[in-house]
Amino acid sequence: MASMITAADELQRRNRAREIKQKSNKRNPGTDDDANKGDDACAICDNGGFVTCCDGGCQRSFHLDEQESEDSKCRLALGVTKEQAKMINEKKEKFICKNCKYKQHQCFVCGLLGSSDLSSKAKVFQCEYDDCRHFYHPKCVAGLLYPDSEEATLFEQQVAAGLGFSCPMHECIVCKGGENKDDMNMQFAVCRRCPTTYHRKCLPSDIIFKTRKRPNGSMQRAWDDILPDRILIYCTKHEIIRKLGTPKRNHIIFPDVKKLRVPKTLEGASMEQDILEEEELLNHPPFEQSQSPSPAATDQNQCSCSTPIDSFAPSSLFMHPHLGSCGWLGD
């Protein structure tokens, strides 16, 4: 009993310290900045360009190209028609991805879908830090924050009970320090596929900024010309497909909407309308099937980031998803 009290006290102390350290980086809810914040690259293909932020709360961005192009494959994977994309791009409709619409999000550790509906036994919970868009199972995030510790069980219970938390994306995996965007060496390099973050100065030597041009030379894994004060990486846990220059692009899963109801708290089209739209798309499946997820791998507004930026991943080598009742299948 005494050891549990000690563990609880220490956990509370660490949580308070983390809150103090992050306080200056948090936004006030309900501000205009809150509405316009979003990722600068498409969550499906990792490319930049004209992307639209989801209004459902996940803070991800997607290509919603109305014309036939490489980017339009992202729109098709989302199950959005040309007409719907036009209405969204003209700001006549909100854009809510199916994960947010049905409150089914992927855990960023295990990649599996879980309910994020806080009003009805949620299974995955979103990191509360600033503009973080990642969701986690309580057990998964507890295992990352408190590895091999009895505190992990207590923390898991607290997250499941609704305790706000900051995920591992917000401290360097090497030195455990926070980010200082004004100091180039202390800027974060964040993985696009898992909760792994380094300071620039702490980057391993095999995460490189330029492909080594020799037979079987190491592939580029880091880009510092996409965002002005942050590096985007694929960490070494993810195999780079040489032909693509990126890991496999099968990491996004949308829920099977035929088995789900739209939560009452979320506005949008009826489930019947949604199913009809998807069945129309199913009559013309344009993509090949991808693999299932690996255990390791979860006010409409055009984003302020919706201006052309350099491509993070080569769209000409876009790996096609399979369009099914769940949209994007795979890891």
For residue 307, the 8-state DSSP code is S
CA 77 from chain centre, in angstroms, equals: 16
| pLDDT tens sequence for the chain (331 residues) | 444 445 555 555 555 544 434 433 333 333 344 444 678 888 988 878 889 999 998 999 999 988 776 667 888 888 899 999 999 999 889 999 999 999 999 999 999 999 999 998 999 999 998 778 899 999 999 999 999 888 999 999 999 999 999 999 999 999 999 999 999 999 999 999 999 999 999 999 999 999 988 777 889 999 998 777 889 999 999 999 888 788 888 899 999 877 666 776 554 444 334 434 444 333 333 333 333 444 443 333 344 343 333 445 444 434 443 333 333 333 3
d(CA 287, CA 320): 6
Q: Confirm whether pTM is higher than 0.75.
A: no
Indicate if the alpha-carbon torsion angle 275, 102, 57, 143 is positive or negative.
Answer: negative
- One-letter amino acid for residue 140 of the chain: C
Which of 127-145 are b and which e, b meaning 16 or more Cβ less than 10 Å from the residue's Cβ? bebeebbbbbbbbbbbbbb
Strand duo 231-233 + 188-191: pairing: parallel
- Of 249, 254, 315, 317, nearest to 281 by C-alpha is 254
pLDDT of residue 70: 66
- Structural domain tally of the chain? 1
Q: Residue 116: which domain range? A: 2-328
pLDDT of residue 50: 87
